[in-house]
Amino acid sequence: MNEPNSCVDNATVCSGASCVVPDSNFNNTLSVVLSTVLTILLALVMFSMGCNVEIKKFLGHIKRPWGICIGFLCQFGIMPLTGFVLSVAFDILPIQAVVVLIMGCCPGGTSSNILAYWVDGDMDLSVSMTTCSTLLALGMMPLCLLIYTKMWVDSGSIVIPYDNIGTSLVALVVPVSIGMFVNHKWPQKAKIILKVGSIAGIILIVLTAVVGGILYQSAWIIAPKLWIIGTIFPVAGYSLGFLLARIAGLPWHRCRTVAFETGMQNTQLCSTIVQLSFTPEELNIIFTFPLIYSIFQLAFAAIFLGFYVAYKKCHGKNKAEIPESKENATEPESSFYKINGGFKPDEK
């Protein structure tokens, strides 16, 4: 068939872990620079987030993991199920449904830790949830994909990049552990590092979205149904995560934490899985979905953050909580009950 040259020139070429516009030194250079800068920035940001994590409280979440269990149920229960329901409801192509489900089965992303800080969430719970979901993804991702994709495709054809998951885990645990040590030894310096790192985290999120849009500019033509699903999916994750956490009796600041941990998926991991599992022809109709999800999960997170900041200003609180329970204000500092308030419903 004789296709116009313009179509060939604008085709997206996916190779290995990269999917960019071909024959462009600018894009190739930008891809390398982006990867290097983001890796360094991410390590520094996670180090700063670790400076807000107290070792005692972090271990408390691990020993009495009520909040982590709720997060686990949201991450590997709500998200895959939501992806399955959306795929069936919109009657999308089997290959498109598989990509939506891959996104739903991915663990939480590190951006959730940054946003949890900005909404006065429980940083100890946020970091522990991200760490646990990344570790458990080694087993839960294949299991969830086996359950939900068998009506469309053989789950054995989906390549799970365990090395990437392991790298993500190391990139999370090491800088956070160093930050926790700094917070334990030099708490005053840790506060300064945290303020700088939280700002750097916002820059990191914006930089990823902007440069990603430039790198993948030729892949934005995609089925309208995937745009709609990419819009609804993250909102459903945030909302259902918050609702389940509240039903479980978690205090408000932990509900916000669980909400972000649920809706904020590791889209980079999803993109890697998609590229490893499908042919270049198939990628032309599905590759952009992780990018769409990434854009809307950040957009709605920014909207939620804006509402929360407005709420704080209206109520004139330094560290506002949407009326917390009395027990959160009066519990002794050393009590494990404070660490996991979800074991008892909030007092009305």
23-317 fold: Na+/H+ antiporter like fold (1.20.1530)
Helix, strand, coil tally for the chain in percent (to 5): 75, 0, 20
- From CA 194, how far away is CA 206, in angstroms rounded? 19
Cβ(87)–Cβ(101) below 8 Å: yes
**Can you say whether residue 15 is alpha, beta or left, with left for phi > 0 and alpha for psi between -120 and 50 degrees?**
beta
Between CA 85 and CA 91 the distance in angstroms is: 10
Q: Which tokens is 99 given?
A: 């990509």
The tens place of each residue's pLDDT in the chain, 348 residues long, gives: 444 444 434 444 444 444 444 445 555 665 566 666 667 777 777 788 878 787 788 788 888 888 889 989 999 999 999 999 999 999 988 888 999 999 999 888 778 888 888 888 888 888 888 888 888 888 898 899 888 988 887 656 677 777 777 877 787 788 888 888 888 888 888 888 877 877 777 777 676 666 665 655 555 667 788 889 999 999 999 999 999 999 999 999 999 999 999 999 888 788 878 878 887 777 777 778 888 898 888 889 989 989 998 888 887 654 444 444 444 444 444 333 344 444 344 444
d(CA 96, CA 226): 8
Nearest alpha carbon to residue 237 among 287, 301, 288: 301
Q: Map out the domains of the chain as residue ranges.
A: 23-317
What is the pLDDT, as a whole number, of residue 53?
A: 80
Q: Which of 335, 340, 192, 347 lies closest to 253 in space, CA to CA?
A: 340
Q: Name 143's Cβ contacts closer than 8 Å, sequence gap at least 6.
A: none
The dihedral built from the CA positions of residue 278, 281, 286 and 290, taken in this order, carries a sign that is positive
From the list 105, 77, 94, 103, the residue with the least C-alpha distance to 154 is: 94
Which run of H or of E encompasses 14? Answer: strand 13-15
As a whole number of angstroms, the distance between CA 80 and CA 144 comes to: 7
**Cβ atoms 240, 74 nearer than 8 A:** yes
Q: Which residues pair with 20 in a beta bridge?
A: 13
At 15, give phi and psi (nearest 5°): -145, 125
pLDDT of residue 34: 60
CA atoms of 146 and 93, how far apart (whole Å): 18
Burial 98-128 (b: 16+ CB within 10 A, else e): bbbbbbbbbbbbbbbbbbbbbbbbbbbbbbb
Cβ within 8 Å of residue 231, ≥6 positions away: 292, 296
Residue 248 contacts residue 70 (beta carbons within 8 Å) = yes
Q: What is the pLDDT of residue 164?
A: 75
Rounded Cα distance, 341 and 333, in Å: 13
Give me the amino acid identity at 100. Answer: V
Task: Look up residue 133 and give its two tokens.
Answer: 């979901």
Model-level pTM? Answer: 0.72
| Alpha carbons 72 and 292: distance in angstroms, whole number | 24
Cα–Cα distance measured from residue 330 to residue 334, given in angstroms and rounded to the nearest whole number? 12
